[in-house]
Every structure is written in structure tokens, then in C-alpha cells.
A = this chain, B = another copy of it.
Amino acid sequence: MPRAAGRLPQFKGTWLMTDTGTARETKKARKRFRTDSVTGIVGYRLRRAQLAVFQRFQLRFAEFDLRPADYSVLALIADNPGCKQIEIANALRIKRANFVALINRLEARGLTERREAVGDRRSQALYLTPVGSETMQALKATQDAFEAECIEKLGGVEARDVFLDLLDRLADETP
């Protein structure tokens, strides 16, 4: 029922009153559920958008059964073959402890492998397997298409640039 402005004269005010205590709910309390005090908050909208984008990402990558973090790890290994676990973990702000299970999964699926690092017997050198490299091509194509989707939603690359700039303004780590 969209506000029914026509019936306004039928009732005796209390619509625009600031805090009528005498209103006394007439029959069916016409309480519109107010959410503006929450939905108007930057952080709330930011979270909503982030969830929506990640959900769409998972839809696009469902055929690969990979999460955003998995894709990021594979992409970073592809761009930095032989890198250490800690390097990727730091770049993605993942605790190195939690990175272990992640890379274990990728390795178990035959996408990555750990070799012995040359100058440091503590660290492992990460590489994509041949299968991993081949998979990465399809992943990159999917990601590029998804990014194009996002850019289109935003209204073009200029809007995207504005958007990234605004995001970075909020993302600075100063408490």
C-alpha cells in the first residue's frame, strides 16, 4: 500500500507530528518499518555491496569451486613463481597459520606445488603445476569478464577509477 496520499484528509493528523503521544494506534498500526538510521550508514552500504560482489564472484567461479582467496593466491603465484608462503599471506592479509590449509587444498587439487626454496631451507617455493597454469588461464578469463561486469555496473572505467579512489580513502589504516 503505497502511502495512500489521497486518504490523508480522512484522518486527523498525527502524520507529520513530531511525537504525538495521543495518536493511539487506529485499528491496524500503519507502522512502516524504518531502517534509514542504519541503511544510511556508509559502513552498512559498504558491507552490503561487498557481500553482493563476493556472492556474484562465487557464482561466476562456482564451476571451479574456488573462493576469492583461492583465486588471489593462484594469481599471485602465477605472477610470482617461486614465492614464499609468507609473501602471499602478507599480501592478502592472511595469517600464515591460516594460509597452510588454503595452500594445502590447492596442492591437493593439483593446482600448486611446494618445492624447496634455494637459499632458505625454512621457506617453501610455490609454483603452479602445469594443470594449475592451464586452469589459471580459464580463471583469468572468468575474472576479466567478472571485472568487466563490475565496471559496467559502476558506469564505466572512469566511474571505476573514482570508486577505487574513494575506497582507498576509506581503507587507509590510520586508526
Q: What residues make up the interface of A, taking CB atoms closer than 8 Å to B?
A: 31, 33-38, 41-54, 56-57, 59, 68, 72, 75-76, 78-80, 82-83, 87, 91-93, 143, 147, 150-151, 153-155, 159-160, 162-164, 166-173, 175
Contact = CB atoms under 8 A, between A and B. Distances in A.
A89 to B, nearest CB: 12
Contacts of A76: 34-35, 37-38
Give this chain's copy count: 2
Per DSSP, chain A at the interface is helix
Contacts of A43: 50, 53-54, 57, 68, 150
B38 A168 contact: no
A151 to B, nearest CB: 7
B147 A42 contact: yes
Contact of A41 (B51, B147, B171): B147
